[in-house]
Structure 1
Amino acid sequence: MESASLRHSYNAEYQSSYATDTRAGEEEEAPNGQTFLNPAFKIGSSRVSEQFRPLFGVSITWPGSVETSVEWNQQTETFLRTANLKVEEVQTNQLSGSVSYQKRGMRIPVLGLGRLENQIRFSLTVSRSVNDERSYNLRGALADVRSADGSVDPDRITDPTNDYVQVRKQTTRVQVTPELTYRLSDRVTADLLVEYERFDGDSRQPSYTRVNGGFNVSVSISQN
């Protein structure tokens, strides 16, 4: 091992909207049976976003011009809808890894061009991403708290087997991308790329498998 580096990054964002309430100061009853005074400003909606990009990442350079890297990314977005008393949560987990090999310094004779330095590079990238979207019915949970005299277990509210939770989306995406690049000095460059993608969907988004490929050759001709 020649060198190694570790990466970690965290970013969070909070957004909220407010509106004046014409019934400010009036008494109102909540779904759980408790009463409160309407405030002068009410929250219309709130959003909290947390991102770990990456939660954990490591890159290693090995002897022989071989490089490897692994990253684990996490993102969670939570939305509060006060109009219908629901909380929506979107979670994304992605694990990716790559390996690349590069060989340079190969000099071969080319007719009319002398001995040109060649370079070849191969890379392979693999990633797996899981997306989960859920909606939590706070109005129904508060109503049950009222009927049970405040003795409802909080864990039941987040249990997907209960009516409080609606699983809106659960998908998995796997991508595999090998790429080969050949460079003949600065005059000729050839790229070969293949993209494989498998998507495991649900009732809202069907599953599919897709394979794309491409080949590109660029030639530069100049004369002094």
Structure 2
Amino acid sequence: MTDVVWHHREDLSIDQHLALRTAAARLKVQFDAYYGAETIERFLHSSYDQFATGSTIPNFLPLLAERFARQRLTALAKVEGHQDDGRPVVLFLCVHNAGRSQMALGFFEHLAGDQAVGWSGGSEPGIEVNPAAIAAMAERGIDISTEYPKPWTDEVVRAADVVVTMGCGDACPIFPGKRYENWDLADPNGLEVADIRPIRDEIERRVRELLGELAVPAVSGR
């Protein structure tokens, strides 16, 4: 792959440079039928910058950038009609993408399995997922500890079939003709696990209801 972006980045260490080059190569294998090297590296570059200013773990940034770039390129490919496997896509949005939307995504992926696609984002992404929310979800056997706060982007919103908003107000993106739902839920930020449990349980109820409306049956036994 031609080094379109990274040789201009003097802020990167040698290890980060190599990690991003490797990430770009993996993304090219997945998306080169639709997009050229320059587009793929541009998405990886901008995804890296989304996390670079707030992350306290620089060595983890290339992996975060690759994961986010893969989601964005998948969304763009759907929007542009290059690929669409027919599965419904639901995007969960809140302010920090650290509590409500992450719990909703956790339940959605747990219950839907591979029958649907779930994404999440925030209007003002935090630094990490709320540890108390992680603990509350672990009580239900769902691990959201590997998730990370991230922003939304236009292609991700446009690719979603349903956009569920939770407290982001006027900052939530609006695209005409798209299905929106607003879930009025308390913000778990700063709460103890005991206080988060009722929020968690209400999120599960709403996710199950949404899956029913989408005709996506819960995975057996869940």
Normalised by the size of structure 2, how large is the TM-score?
A: 0.23
Q: Which has the higher strand share?
A: 1
Q: Which has the higher contact order (CA 8 A, sep 6+)?
A: 2
Find the structure with the greater CA-based Rg.
Answer: 1
Query: More helix by proportion, 1 or 2?
Result: 2
